[in-house]
């Protein structure tokens, strides 16, 4: 057992912290208010190597481990969830999916620019009527011999407009249920794709979430990842790792809110003494710190298991469930500690609270994580 | 041109400073160490110059006086873009011993420019750069706020009362740099972090030297008042203060 980080891991954590505290923070409120996509930050983070940080250097990634990824996601999310979710989708869903299951040609053509962050990817699973129940895919990928013909609508797609590479989950053999589903790499600029308007969201307002419509979109056969019918398994496997990213994001919201609360409680005075000297505030902060620490340990354990090549689906579901739940709780308490100041945008904690809510919903709702965890324990499938 | 950048390993600037009993020594337990912010800017400028004039700047070496616990900070400098690092294995006792150690180590190196931060954020002595130039017997320029290389010669701007002065200097020289030398400190990239371990970090023995000063006593500054008044004529200072001091934007 060893709780020490390596020097490299600490450097990555520091680099992410420096970028977040020096750069992201400067325009985060304005971007949130006006739903402005963080173009320059995505470019800068790509240059620093964050957009493909876990991809092997062989494919132009940085070759860092998942523990480093947790540390980086936490630091960036303390300040800006919109930017960190762009990074999370690109790294743990799109790059990971292609690197782990793609062909050599797919890696050369798509993974390299994605790992360099020159191109951004999106993961298209959810549909208007298929969210938690991802098996009931209505989007179809008809097998036309040398190509697939894709039709249907995907909903809530992060990077929906800015991405140039889509990973699309679609049904090829409806009679086979989830075993008939495929995953295709689709060029966003293919004929027949149209992107819906930017969703006007509660939080993560600076990330671009869109619905994407496919009408007779031709996708070459060689763009299918894995065997015929591998799509659903692909999605589930990829999401197992994605959950480490979102869990770390939730952790960042909580630890960011905690840091701000500690600072505020030491500065703000009420009834002649600092808030920190009122025991009910001090205890609240202690409680928040315990929850943050627990969430961090769960995230790091899931990451460690993944780095060791051991099964991590159960651990990542636990990390995601717990981190998302406490993120909601800790950010709400942070607003409370800040009083009226917490309710206005300048103090950042209300944004963290709005953003925390999403971590209980996407990449599998909290209820879905409980299903994953309980099935594992009770052996019901 | 070989550029040496002196790096001081200092506590993170947000550290709450505590003293050991007797108030003669700082209690460093639990402190996070960073590159002195002025040195970080100096290093950033050296890296920018190397990137834009690879023919003029051949090598950047970072140099520190410190024990082994200063090595993570040196590797961070390597990760940021320095080519080599030298750690002089000695405790930096005061400005004089630090300057002596660096001067002695530099006598074995070929250098053209030595960049020193104007001060270090821990002991604020403001003196290493000037002493170092004297000990090396080379010219020095203080309060340098910009550095360029023109026709293979360093051209610097320095702050003078109410204005700026542009100088060119022969090499070797010591430049004592302040804010403005670079704007945003370089954040190491993943590639830089990965290659930092493969770059040379040389450890050299320190020489024996006696400090000229002795710390008698430390006193914590009085508690900062929570309210700062700004002259209505100088409202433009407000964003800077909110950013740098209050750290709320
Ligand atoms: C901002 C944003 C970005 C997103 N980005 C992406 C993306 O990039 N790619 C992508 O594919 N999707 C994305 N999503 C979609 C997201 O993953 C889904 O919204 C999520 O999976 C939930 O699906 P749903 O909205 O259809 O809710 P539903 O599945 O309809 O669930 C509604 C409620 O019922 C509960 N519920 C459902 N089934 C059960 C059950 N069996 N037992 C107990 N409770 C249950 C849920 O937990 C939830 O509380 C994003 C969503 C948002 C809001």
Q: List, for residues B64-100, the tens digit of each pLDDT value.
A: 999 999 999 999 999 999 999 999 999 988 899 999 9
| Sign, CA torsion B183/B52/B153/B135 | positive
Give the chain A residue whose CA is nearest to the CA of B195: A8
The SS3 call for residue A228 is coil
The alpha carbon of A282 is separated from its chain's Cα centroid by a whole number of angstroms, namely 32
Looking at residue A176, what DSSP letter applies? G
Q: Which atom of ligand 1 is nearest to the CA of A158?
A: 8
Q: Are residues A255 and A298 in the same domain?
A: yes
**Residues 20..49 of A with a Cβ closer than 8 Å to B: which?**
22, 25-26, 47-49
* CA-CA-CA-CA dihedral for A364, A366, A370, A376, to nearest 10: 30
- CB-CB contact of A117 with A77 (8 Å): no
Helix (H) or strand (E) holding A184: strand A181-187
* Spatial separation of the C-alpha atoms in residues A295 and A375, rounded to whole Å: 22
Q: Do both A114 and A136 map to the same domain?
A: no
Q: Active site includes A227?
A: no
Are A107 and A149 within one domain? no
| Tokens (6 digits) for B249 | 């934007």
What is the whole-number distance in angstroms between the Cα of residue B167 and the centre of ligand 1?
A: 64
Q: What is the pLDDT of residue B226?
A: 64
Q: Check A74, A75, A127, A363 and give the catalytic one.
A: A363
Residues A269 and A336 in one domain: yes
Question: Are A140 and A211 in a shared domain?
Answer: yes
Provide, as residue numbers in chain A, all residues whose Cβ is less than 8 Å from the Cβ of B248. 346
- Give me the residues of B, 185-214, that contact A with CB < 8 A: 185, 187-191, 193-194, 196-197
pLDDT band with cut points at 50, 70 and 90 for residue A71: very high
In the reported structure, the alpha carbon of residue A327 is separated from the centroid of ligand 1 by a whole-number distance in angstroms of 18
Q: What is the per-residue pLDDT for B225?
A: 62
Q: Is the CB of A246 under 6 A from ligand 1?
A: no
- Which chain B residue is nearest to residue A72, measuring alpha carbons? B190
Contact: B193, A25; criterion CB under 8 Å: no
Tell me if A175 is assigned to some domain. yes
Q: Which two tokens stand for residue B157?
A: 């701007």
Residue at which a domain ends, from A62, A96, A120: A120
Last residue of a domain, one of A205, A232, A259: A232
Determine, yes or no, domain membership for A1.
Answer: no
pLDDT value at A195 more than 90: yes
Which among A138, A210, A216, A221 is positioned nearest to A177, based on CA atoms? A138
Residue A14 in contact with partner chain B when CB distance is under 8 A: yes
- Do A176 and A80 share a structural domain? no
Helix axis angle for A366-378 and A313-342, nearest 10°, is 150
Q: Does B75 reach chain A within 8 Å, measured CB to CB?
A: yes
Tokens coding A191: 């004929």
Question: How many Å apart are CA B98 and CA B67, to the nearest integer?
Answer: 12
The rounded distance, in Å, linking the Cα atoms of B249 and B237 is 13
Whether the Cβ atoms of residue A258 and residue A288 lie closer than 8 Å to each other: yes
Same domain, A254 and A337: yes
- B184 in contact with A, Cβ within 8 Å: yes
B184 C-beta neighbours (distance < 10 Å), count = 10
Q: Are residues A116 and A134 in the same domain?
A: no
% of chain A with per-residue pLDDT over 90 = 99
Instruction: Answer whether A154's CB lies under 8 Å from A137's CB.
Output: no
What backbone torsions phi and psi does residue B84 show, to the nearest 5 degrees? -140, 160
Nearest CA to ligand 1 atom 17: A362
User: What's the average model confidence in pLDDT over A318-323?
Assistant: 98
Contact call for residues A225 and A98 (beta carbons, < 8 A): yes
Residue A139 and residue A113 share a domain: no
Question: Would you say residue A2 lies in a domain?
Answer: no
Within-domain flag for A177: yes
Q: What does residue B156 show for φ and ψ, rounded to 5 degrees?
A: -125, 155
Q: How far apart are CA B10 and CA A251, in angstroms?
A: 29
Ligand 1 pocket mutation, candidates A133, A152, A361, A364, criterion most atoms within 8 A of CB: A361
E strands along chain B, which residues?
A: 2-6, 9-11, 18-19, 26-27, 33-35, 59-65, 84-89, 113-117, 140-150, 153-160, 163-168, 173-177, 201-205
Task: Give the Å distance between the CA of A320 and the centre of ligand 1.
Answer: 14
Helix (H) / strand (E) containing A250:
helix A231-267
Number of domains composing chain A: 3
* Cβ atoms of residues A326 and A254 within 8 Å: yes
B contact test, residue of A9, A14, A80 with most B CBs within 10 A: A14
Closest partner residue to B187 (CB to CB) among A8, A18, A267 is A18
The 10s digit of each residue's pLDDT in A12-65 is 999 999 999 999 999 999 999 999 999 999 999 999 999 999 999 999 999 999
Backbone angles phi and psi of A280, in degrees to 5: -70, -30
What pLDDT, on a 0 to 100 scale, did the predictor assign at position B113? 97
Cβ <8 Å between B75 and A11: yes
CA neighbor of A184 nearest in space, from A156, A142, A145: A142
Q: Which residue has the higher pLDDT, B217 or A342?
A: A342
Range with lowest mean pLDDT among A99-103, A164-168, B28-32: B28-32
- Cβ separation of A62 and B187 shorter than 8 Å? no
> Which is more confident, A12 or A379?
A12
**Residue from A245, A358, A365 whose mutation best tests the ligand 1 pocket (most atoms within 8 A of CB):** A365
On whether residue A91 sits in a domain, the answer given is yes
Q: Which residues of B touch A47 (CB under 8 A)?
A: 189
Q: Which of A120, A150, A170 is the last residue of a domain?
A: A120
- Does residue A119 have its Cβ closer than 6 Å to ligand 1? no
Interface test with B, best of A5, A9, A13, A15 (most B CBs within 10 A): A15
* Minimal CA separation from B200 to chain A, in Å: 16
Q: Is the pLDDT of residue A103 over 70?
A: yes
The C-alpha atoms of residue A50 and residue A44 are separated, in whole angstroms, by 9
User: Rounded to an integer, what distance in angstroms lies between the CA atom of residue B155 and that of residue B170?
Assistant: 9
Give yes or no for residue A302 CB within 6 A of ligand 1.
no
Which domains can be identified in chain B, with CATH numbers? 2-216 (3.40.50.620)
Residue A43: CATH number of its domain:
1.10.540.10
Q: For position A207, which CATH number holds?
A: 2.40.110.10
Q: Report d(CA A132, CA A119) in Å as an integer.
A: 28
Whether A11 is covered by a domain: the verdict is yes
A276 and A225 housed in the same domain? no
For β-strands B18-19 and B26-27, DSSP reports them as antiparallel
Cβ atoms of B24 and B40 within 8 Å: the answer is no
The pLDDT of A249-275, averaged and rounded, is: 96
The answer to whether the CB atoms of A53 and B72 lie below 8 A apart is no
Nearest CB among B75, B189, B197 relative to A48 is that of B189
Instruction: Look at residue B25 in the predicted model and tell me its pLDDT.
Output: 87
CATH number for A272: 1.20.140.10
DSSP β-ladder status, B33-35 and B9-11: antiparallel
Domain that residue A195 falls in? 122-232
What is the structure's pLDDT at B237?
Answer: 85
Distance CA A346, CA A335 (A): 12
For A153, phi and psi rounded to 5 degrees? -130, 135
Same domain, A371 and A247: yes
**Chain B residues with CB-CB distance to A53 below 8 A:** 190
**Digit-coded pLDDT (tens) for B12-35:** 888 888 899 988 888 988 888 999
Closest CA to A307 of A50, A46, A51, A53: A53
Cα–Cα–Cα angle for A310, A311, A314, nearest 5°? 140
- B166–chain A nearest CA distance, Å: 30
| Beta carbons of B61 and B38 less than 8 angstroms apart | no
On chain A, the residues whose CB falls within 8 A of the CB of B184 are 22
Query: What is the interface size between A and B, counted as CB pairs within 8 Å?
Result: 47
- Cα gap A359→A243, rounded to integer Å: 10
The CA distances from residue A152 to A126, A128, A321, A360, B134, in Å, are: 11, 10, 31, 27, 76
Mean pLDDT score of chain A: 97
Q: How many residues does chain A have?
A: 381
For every residue of A2-66, DSSP letters joined together read --PPPHHHHHHHHHHHHHIIIIIHHHHHHHHHHT---HHHHHHHHHHTGGGTTS-GGGT-----H
pLDDT at res. B30: 87
Shortest Cα–Cα distance, A284 to chain B (Å): 22
Does the CB atom of residue A129 touch ligand 1 within 6 A?
no
Looking at the structure, tell me whether residues A190 and A259 fall in a common domain.
Answer: no
Show the low-confidence residues of chain B (pLDDT under 70): 224-226
Residue A111: inside a domain: yes
| Residues A375-380: contacts with CB under 8 Å, at least 24 apart | A376/A313, A376/A314, A376/A317
């Amino acid at each position: 057992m060893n709780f020490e980080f390596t020097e490299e891991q600490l450097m990555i954590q520091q680099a992410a912290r420096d970028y977040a505290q020096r750069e992201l923070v400067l325009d985060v409120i304005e971007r949130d208010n006006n739903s402005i996509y963080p173009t320059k930050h995505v470019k800068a983070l790509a240059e620093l190597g964050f957009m493909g940080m876990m991809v092997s250097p062989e494919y132009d990634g940085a070759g860092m481990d998942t523990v480093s990824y947790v540390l980086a996601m936490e630091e960036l999310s303390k300040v800006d969830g919109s930017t960190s979710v762009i990074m999370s989708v690109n790294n743990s869903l799109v790059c990971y999916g292609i690197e782990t299951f793609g062909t050599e040609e797919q890696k050369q053509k798509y993974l390299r620019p994605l790992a360099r962050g020159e191109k951004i990817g999106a993961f298209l699973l959810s549909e208007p009527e298929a969210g938690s129940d991802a098996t009931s895919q209505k989007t179809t990928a008809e097998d036309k011999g040398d190509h697939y013909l894709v039709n249907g609508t995907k909903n809530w797609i992060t990077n929906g407009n800015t991405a140039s590479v889509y990973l699309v989950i679609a049904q090829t053999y409806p009679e086979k249920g989830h075993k008939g589903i495929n995953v295709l790499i689709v060029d966003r600029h293919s004929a027949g794709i149209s992107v819906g308007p930017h969703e006007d969201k509660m939080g993560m307002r600076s990330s671009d979430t869109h619905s994407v419509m496919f009408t007779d979109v031709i996708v070459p056969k060689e763009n299918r990842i894995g065997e015929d019918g591998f799509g659903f398994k692909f999605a589930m496997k990829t999401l197992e790792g994605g959950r480490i990213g979102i869990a770390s994001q939730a952790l960042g919201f909580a630890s960011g809110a905690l840091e701000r609360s500690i600072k505020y409680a030491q500065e703000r005075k009420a009834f002649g003494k600092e808030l920190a000297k009122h025991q009910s505030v001090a205890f609240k902060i202690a409680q928040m710190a315990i929850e943050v620490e627990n969430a961090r340990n769960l995230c790091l354990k899931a990451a460690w298991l993944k780095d060791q090549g051991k099964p991590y689906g159960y651990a990542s579901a636990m990390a995601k469930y717990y981190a998302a739940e406490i993120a909601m709780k800790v950010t709400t308490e942070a607003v409370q500690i800040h009083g009226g100041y917490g309710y206005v945008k300048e103090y950042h904690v209300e944004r963290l609270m709005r953003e925390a809510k999403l971590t209980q919903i996407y990449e599998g709702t909290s209820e879905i994580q409980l299903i994953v965890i309980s099935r594992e324990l009770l052996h019901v499938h | 041109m070989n550029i040496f950048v002196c790096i001081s390993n200092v506590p993170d600037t947000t550290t709450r400073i505590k003293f050991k009993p007797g108030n003669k020594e700082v209690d460093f337990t639990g402190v996070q160490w960073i590159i002195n912010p002025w040195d970080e800017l100096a290093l950033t400028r050296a890296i920018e110059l190397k990137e834009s004039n690879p023919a003029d700047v051949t090598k950047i070496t970072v140099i520190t006086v410190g024990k082994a616990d200063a090595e993570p900070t040196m590797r961070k400098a390597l990760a940021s873009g320095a080519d080599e690092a030298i750690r002089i294995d000695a405790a930096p006792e005061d400005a004089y011993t630090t300057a002596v150690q660096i001067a002695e180590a530099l006598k074995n190196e070929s250098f053209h420019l030595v960049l020193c931060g104007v001060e270090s954020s821990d002991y604020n002595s403001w003196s290493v750069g000037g002493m170092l130039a004297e000990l090396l017997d080379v010219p020095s320029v203080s309060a340098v706020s910009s550095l360029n290389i023109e026709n293979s010669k360093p051209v610097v701007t320095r702050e003078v009362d109410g204005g700026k002065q542009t100088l060119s200097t022969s090499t070797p020289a010591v430049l004592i740099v302040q804010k403005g030398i670079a704007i945003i400190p370089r954040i190491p990239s993943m590639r830089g972090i990965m290659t930092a371990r493969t770059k040379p970090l040389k450890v050299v023995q320190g020489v024996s030297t006696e400090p000229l000063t002795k710390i008698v006593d430390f006193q914590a500054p009085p508690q900062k008042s929570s309210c700062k008044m700004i002259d209505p004529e100088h409202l433009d200072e407000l964003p800077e203060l909110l950013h740098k001091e209050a750290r709320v934007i």
